[in-house]
């Protein structure tokens, strides 16, 4: 049986998306194992009369546990909606407000549907992923914090202008009924591995943590769901939801965000906690967490002011208090 050519390799479709004649397109898979967990990524090189264009195609996973979760939840649909509608509006708000200081939040999306996304290839502009095992230094952490604050602030303004714009992002994938059982099983399995590993460590100092973790194990998913739930009393924004080093691309002192399948309208603190516990060098976390939260507050307030947000600017103390409430 002849192999079916995917639509994202069809010259006529590419011409429609790029709005220019296409002479040739070639697929080149060039991603390392472990770099992406929630989709299949392909790089395609498109030749036109005037230029060569490199694109990234992100496809839904078709087989295995990840595919089951994607099929039973709205993960890919949320990302499709974000790239197609929400991010362009947020970018435009920032472009109008910040003028020469404007930096796009994410790669441009040329086409989106329920099965795949066609995205700008940021690597041709020098953007690249950092080593996830080394952790980010202070300079790169500050760059991310500033980008994140602008991402959050622009979502606040969009929500003010279009209150229904965040409806698609009201639920987190962990609490969607179709996939909740699978997530619960996943959490329990990972916790068991974690406990088994800690039990093999000879030092007595770990016994304190073992007791806490064993107690937490049966209710971990419920506790996480309670933490990420949207409360009117919180400082709610559109969060990335999976903010770790593999979902951040750097070029010099600038960065852009990718992979938005866990987006949710909820407390800003979720993004900060996940980033600071998963992606930074230990010395940065121990010595500069306060500095990073202060920079987040400074950039957030500056951007909200530039956007002329109606919401009252949060004080640094208010952000600290909410950050600590969301430590789970």
| 182-194 pLDDT per residue, tens | 788 888 899 999 9
pTM across the whole model: 0.91
End-to-end CA distance of the chain: give it in Å, rounded.
52
Residue range 5-32: average pLDDT? 86
Task: Tell me the C-alpha distance between 259 and 83, whole Å.
Answer: 10
Residue 117 Rama label (left phi>0; alpha psi -120 to 50; beta): beta
Give residue-wise pLDDT tens across range 132-188.
899 999 999 999 999 999 999 999 999 999 999 999 998 877 766 566 777 888 888
320 CB-near residues (< 8 Å, 6+ apart)? 293
pLDDT given for residue 262 in this prediction: 92
Quote the Cα angle for 140-143-144, to 5°: 90
């Amino acid at each position: 049986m002849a192999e079916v050519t995917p639509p994202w390799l069809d010259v006529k479709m590419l011409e429609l998306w790029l709005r220019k004649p296409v002479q040739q397109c070639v697929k080149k898979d060039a991603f390392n194992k472990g770099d992406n967990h929630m989709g299949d990524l392909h790089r395609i090189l498109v030749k036109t009369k005037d230029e060569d264009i490199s694109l990234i195609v992100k496809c839904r996973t078709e087989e295995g546990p990840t595919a089951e979760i994607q099929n039973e939840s709205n993960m890919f649909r949320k990302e499709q909606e974000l790239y197609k509608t929400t991010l362009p509006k947020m970018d435009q708000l920032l472009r109008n407000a910040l003028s020469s200081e404007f930096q796009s939040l994410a790669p441009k999306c040329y086409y989106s549907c329920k099965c795949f996304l066609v995205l700008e290839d940021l690597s041709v502009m020098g953007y690249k992923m950092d080593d996830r095992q080394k952790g980010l230094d202070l300079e790169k952490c500050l760059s991310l914090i500033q980008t994140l604050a602008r991402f959050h602030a622009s979502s606040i303004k969009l929500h003010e202008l279009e209150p229904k714009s965040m409806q698609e992002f009201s639920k987190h994938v962990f609490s969607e009924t179709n996939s909740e059982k699978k997530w619960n099983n996943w959490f329990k399995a990972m916790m068991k591995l974690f406990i088994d590993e800690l039990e093999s460590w000879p030092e007595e100092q770990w016994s304190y943590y073992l007791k806490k973790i064993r107690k937490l194990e049966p209710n971990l998913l419920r506790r996480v769901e309670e933490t990420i739930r949207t409360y009117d009393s919180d400082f709610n924004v559109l969060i990335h939801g999976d903010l770790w080093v593999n979902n951040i691309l750097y070029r010099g002192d600038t960065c852009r965000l990718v992979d938005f399948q866990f987006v949710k309208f909820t407390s800003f603190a979720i993004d900060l906690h996940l980033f600071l516990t998963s992606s930074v060098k230990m010395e940065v976390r121990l010595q500069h967490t306060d500095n990073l939260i202060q920079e987040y507050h400074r950039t957030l307030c500056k951007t909200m002011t530039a956007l002329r947000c109606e919401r009252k600017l949060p004080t640094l103390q208010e952000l600290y208090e909410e950050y600590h409430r969301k430590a789970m």
